Structure 1
Amino acid sequence: MTALTLSTSGAATLRADALVVGVTKGPKGPVLAPGAEAVDQAFDGKLAAVLETLGASGEEGEVTKLPAPAGVKAAVVVAAGLGGVPAKGDGYEGEALRRAAGAAARALTGTKKAAFALPVADADDAAAIGEGALLGAYAFTAFRSDGGGKGASKKGEPLAEAVILGGKPRDKAFKAAVERATVVAAEVNRARDLINTPSNALHPAAFAALAQEAAKEHGLAIEVLDEKALVKGGYGGLMGVGQGSANPPRLVRLGYTHPEAEKTLALVGKGITYDSGGISLKPAGHNETMKCDMSGAAAVFSAVLAAAKLGLRVNVTGWLALAENMPSGTATRPGDVLTMYSGKTVEVLNTDAEGRLVLADALTRASEENPDAIVDVATLTGAMVLALGDRTFGVMANDDAFRTAVHEIAEAAGEQAWPMPMPAELRKTMDSPVADIANMGVRNGGGLIAGLFLQEFVGEGITWAHLDIAGPAFHESAPYGYTPKGGTGSAVRTLVRLAEHTAEGDLG
C-alpha cells in the first residue's frame, strides 16, 4: 500500500517525482488554490494562465500535468481540479479534497513519490487528502501474470509514496488524522480486494478462512459455523440459499472488544460470494459482476478490523452471512418454504431474492446478544439502484433518529446516502397463504419491501438500520476521483465513523 507521510517542506523545495497543486473553477478561468503559491512564483505568476492555455478549468475530477519549471525540485507539476471556489471565509470541503487527491494519485500510476500541496487548514483537511491519495492509488493486480511477481512491470504499479505538505508532523491532531486515514484507506482497499476476487477463489469457506487469519492477526474473537452446525442450529435461510451449491455456506462471527467499552454495535453483512439467481436464474448480462454480491460482508469485515486497529472504545461484532446461490438438483425451488433461525417460516417466491434470507438468519442471531444497535449492509435490490442511481446507497431504519444519524454520518464520511421510508402498507404484500411471510411483495417499492422483510427478524426493542449499497458497491464505468473501476468498498467509511460515534456515546 502507498506510504503516507506529513512534511513541513515547501512545495517548491521538496524533492519528488511529482507535485500536486489544487486549482478551482473561477468565473473567469482557473484559480489557484492555497498551497500553490511557491509553484506559481516559479512560473513567474503565470501558472493559472498556463493551465487555462492547456484547457484546464479547475472543474472537479480534472487533472492536468505539465513540466516543472526551474526553482521547483519536483519533475512534474500536477494540477488537480477542486471544483468551485469556496465562498469567502469558507474552507474547502473534505470530499472535494479527497476526490482531487484521488484523481491525482490515479494519474500518477507508476510514480514513486508525489507531494500533495493541496489546501490544508487543519488536521481534517490533511486526513481527507491522505485518504483520497491512498484510495486513488489502489490497484487490483492479484490475478495478473505480472501482478507483483518477479520481473513485474513498474509502469502499472500504484503511487508508492504520498507526502502531504502543509501538515504538522509533530502535532498530535495531525498525526492522529493521518494514522486514521491510513487505517481506513487500508480497510476500504481490503474490501475492494475481496469484492474484486473472482468467485472461484472466494467461496464461503475461503472467505471464512481469511476472516480466521485476520482475527488471529488482530486479536479478535471468531466463530465459524459450517454447514453441519448451520443445519443443527436451524439456520434455514442460510442453508436454503446455499444448498444448491457445491460450496456450502458459512456464518462467521467476528468480535472486537475494548475493556472500557460501554456500548456494543453489531454489523451484519450479506456475503453471497456468487449470485446466479438460483432456480430463478438471472438473465444474460446480469451474471458477469455477481462476484460483488458479497460487498456487504466485505464492508463489515473491514470495518471490524478498522475498529480494532484504531483501538476504538466500543465493542463491535461483525456477522458475515456467506453463501453461494446456485441452481442445481438440490437448490431451493420457487414455492418452497424455509424455516428460519428465528422459527418463522418463509415462502420463497423468487430464489433471486436470496440476500434477505441469509441476512434474516444473521440478524436474528445478532439480536440474541442484545447489542445497542444493529446495522446490516447489503447489495440487496436492483430497485434501490433504480431509485437512487449508481453512487448513492439507501438508508432504512426502525428508528427515525437513528436513520437520520446514519445518513449524516455517511455524508460526513464522504459516502453518498439517502434516507428511505418503510411504508407499513407494503408489508401486507408479503403475506403468504402457506407461511408466515413471503420473500417477495409487489414489484413497486421493491427496495422498501426488502427492508420491511428484514425488520421482521430484528430483535424486539433493538435499534436497527439497513444500508442497501446495490448501486455504489461495484463501479462498472471509468474511474473517477478516488473511485476505481470494480469494487469500491462502499459503506466501510460509514461503518467506521458510526463505530467512532458509538465509542463517544453518540448513537444518534
Structure 2
Amino acid sequence: MSLLQVSLSTDQADKHWGNKAPLSFDAGQATIHLPDQKDLHLRSIKKAARLLESLAIEALQLRGDWHPEQQWAFAQAFTSASKQQAIHWCEDQHKSRLQQQYQAMLFTRNLINRTPEDISPQKLASEVTDWLREIAGDAITARTLTGEALLEAGWAGIYHVGRGSERPPVLLELDYNPGKDNNTPVSAALVGKGITFDSGGYSIKSSEGMLTMKCDMGGAATVAGGLGLAIMQGLNKRVRLFLCCAENLISGHAYKLGDIITYKNGVSVEVVNTDAEGRLVLADGLMAATETGAPLILDAATLTGAAVMALGNEYNALFSMDKSLQDKVLRHADSENEPAWPLPLEPWHQEMCPSPYADTANSRPMKGGGAGGASNAAGFLARFAPPQGKGWIHMDLAAAFNGTATATMPAGATAQGIRTIARTLLDD
C-alpha cells in the first residue's frame, strides 16, 4: 500500500488546493503551507487534515520536521469515525507518546460514537473496566451497583433517573491501585456522567435535540480515557473512578416532574426538569468521591447547553470554588492544547435553583434553566462536593461532540479533555 507523504512548509505555494488551508500536491506528496502567524499553525493544520480526509486516501505518512503538537492536531482532525489508524507518525522520539494519546483518543471517541442500543449503562461500565484492565492489569479492581441495589446503598439520584428504562442504572466504582496496598491513600477521584441515552424524560427533547444524545455519556468516557492515558504515561498514584450510568427514558416507572429525591447527605431535591438529569446522577458520584478522602476530585459531564452557548463547541468550561486548583487545571489545558475557559462559580450559586418544597430544585422551571444555567448547575453540584469546594473541579464538556463535521474536526466525539485530565493526575 502506497502512503501519501505529508509535510509542512512555511513557504507559500505557487499553486495550491484549498484557499482556507493551502495544500499543494506533487507526485505522491502533499505539502501543508503554514501561514506567517504562528498561533494559527495548529488550526491551519487541522483544516488541511479535514480536506485530506475528504479525499479517498487510505493511509498517509507524516514526513519531515513536525512538532508533536502539530502531529497531534493533524491526527485529531483527520481521524473520523470511519477512518482510523490511517496515520503513520514521524519516526522520532515523540512517536510512542503520540501512540498512547491516540489509543486513549480512539477509545474515548469510539465509545461515545457507539449507538445507544449498543451501550447500555451496564455495558458502559463493563467496557471501561475491561479497557483499563488491558492497560493496568490487576492494579484495577471494580464493582458495580445496579438497579434496586443503588437505592439500598443510598445512591438515589442514579436510581431515580434510570428507573424508567428496562436496562437498569449502574454505579461503577473502580480503583486503580498500582501498589496493590489497600491502605494507600487515594490521591484523586474522577466522576463521570454516563447517561447512555437522554430522551429528556417527561421534559422530552425535540427530535433534533435528541438525535445526538448518545453523546451524553461523554463525561464518563472522557474521565475513563484520561485515566487510561495517565496510566500509560506512568501514573503511580492511587485513583478512584466513579461512573454514574443510566438511560433517561419515559415509561410508567420513570421519575416525574414534582418528584422529590432525598440524597444520602440529607439534601432534598425537587425535580422541576427531568432533562436536568446529569446533575442528579453526578450528585451521587461526587458524594462517593468525597467519601474516599481524595484531595483532588474532578468530574466531567456533557452537562448544559448553557456552556455551549457561552463558549461554543471548541472550549470546555471549568468551574471551581478552589481558584488555585482552577488556575492549575486551566494551565494544564493550555499546555495540552485543549481549549478550556473558567465560568463563574461562587457559594451563592447553590441558592439559584430554589424550591418551596425541598432544599433545592434541580434547575429553574424555564427553558434551558434560565440565565447563568451552567453556573447554576455547577452550584447544584457544589452541594454534594467537599466543604467549600476544596479540591474539586467541574468540567462541563461543551467541546465533547460535534453533530456535524466542522472546518477543523470530524463529526462525532472529539475526546477533548483526556489530555488535561491525564496531566492533572500526573501533576505532583
Return the TM-score normalized by structure 1.
Answer: 0.76
Shift of the 104–266 alpha-carbon distance from structure 1 to 2, 3 Å rule, reads: farther
Change in CA separation of 1:455 and 1:426 when aligned onto 2, cut-off 3 Å: closer
The correspondence of residues 210-221 of structure 1 with structure 2, limited to 5 A, is: 210-217=127-134, 218-219=136-137, 220-221=140-141
Show the counterpart of 1:236: 156
User: What are the equivalent positions in structure 2 for 1:163-242 lying under 5 Å apart?
Assistant: 163-164=89-90, 167=92, 174=93, 177-217=94-134, 218-219=136-137, 220-242=140-162
Distance of 2:15 and 2:45 partners within structure 1: 26
Question: CA shift at 1:128, angstroms?
Answer: 1.9
CA distance 1:262–1:100, change in 2 (3 Å): farther
Please give the alpha-carbon distance, in whole angstroms, between the structure 2 residues aligned to 1:464 and 1:159. Answer: 36
Which residue of structure 2 lines up, in the alignment, with residue 54 of structure 1? Answer: 16
Structure-2 separation of matches of 1:258 and 1:354: 34
Quote how far apart the aligned CAs of 1:411 are: 1.8
1:395 aligned to which of 289, 311, 318:
318
Question: Mean Cα displacement is larger for which, 432-441 or 201-210?
Answer: 432-441
The one-letter code sitting in structure 2 at the alignment partner of 1:116 is R
Aligned residues: 417
CA 1:313–1:319 in 2, change beyond 3 Å: closer, same or farther? same
Aligned position for 1:485: 411
Amino acid at match of 1:78: A
Q: Identify which of structures 1 and 2 has the higher relative contact order when contacts are C-alpha pairs closer than 8 Å and 6+ apart.
A: 2
**In structure 1, what is the equivalent of residue 36 of structure 2?**
84
Q: Which amino acid aligns with 1:52?
A: D
Q: Is the 1:95–1:414 contact (alpha carbons within 8 Å) kept by the matching residues of 2?
A: no
In structure 2, the residue matched to 1:312 is 235
Q: Distance in 2 between matches of 1:109 and 1:495?
A: 35
**1:285 Cα offset (Å):** 1.5
Q: Determine the C-alpha separation between the residues in 2 that align with 1:85 and 1:226.
A: 53
Residue 331 of structure 1: aligned partner: 254
Q: Per the alignment, do residues 81 and 499 of structure 1 end up closer, same or farther by CA in structure 2, a change over 3 Å counting?
A: farther
Tell me the residue number matched to 2:370: 443
Match of 2:387 among 441, 460, 467: 460
| Residue 176 (structure 2) aligned to one of 256, 260, 271 | 256
C-alpha deviations, 1:278-307, integer Å up to 9, x for none? 011112321111110000000011112222
Q: Name the residue aligned to 1:106.
A: 53
Shift of 1:65: 4.2
> Quick one: percent identity of the two aligned structures?
31
Contact 1:215 1:254 in 2 (8 A): no
2:384 aligns to what SS in structure 1? coil
What is the CA–CA distance in structure 1 between the aligned matches of 2:245 and 2:317, rounded to whole Å?
22
Instruction: Choose from 101, 107, 116 the match for 2:63.
Output: 116
Provide the rounded CA distance (Å) in 1 between the counterparts of 2:171 and 2:308.
Answer: 27
- Matching residue of 2:26: 67
- Partner residue, 1:292: 215
Runs of 4+ with deviation above 6 angstroms: 260-263
In structure 1, how many angstroms separate the alpha carbons of the residues matched to 2:362 and 2:71? 43
* Deviation of 1:424 (Å): 4.2
TM-score by length of 2: 0.89
Pair 208,55 (structure 1): closer, same or farther in 2 beyond 3 Å? closer
| Change in CA separation of 1:493 and 1:82 when aligned onto 2, cut-off 3 Å | farther
Amino acid at match of 1:188: M
Question: Out of 17, 22, 27, which is 2:8 matched to?
Answer: 22
State the Cα distance separating 1:55 from its structure 2 match: 5.4
2:265 is the counterpart of 1:342: yes
- Structure 1 CA distance for aligned equivalents of residues 86 and 15 of structure 2: 31
Unaligned ranges ≥5, structure 2: none
Structure 1 residue 337: Cα displacement: 0.3
1:98-139 CA-to-partner distances (Å, cap 9, x unmatched) read 73785476356533442322x44xxxx2x3244334434434
The CA deviation at 1:437 is: 1.5
Q: Secondary structure at the match of 2:210?
A: coil
Task: Give the secondary-structure state (helix, strand or coil) at the position aligned to 2:148.
Answer: helix
8 Å CA contact 1:304–1:317 kept in 2: the answer is: no
Shift of 1:212: 3.2
Q: Distance in 2 between matches of 1:454 and 1:81?
A: 46
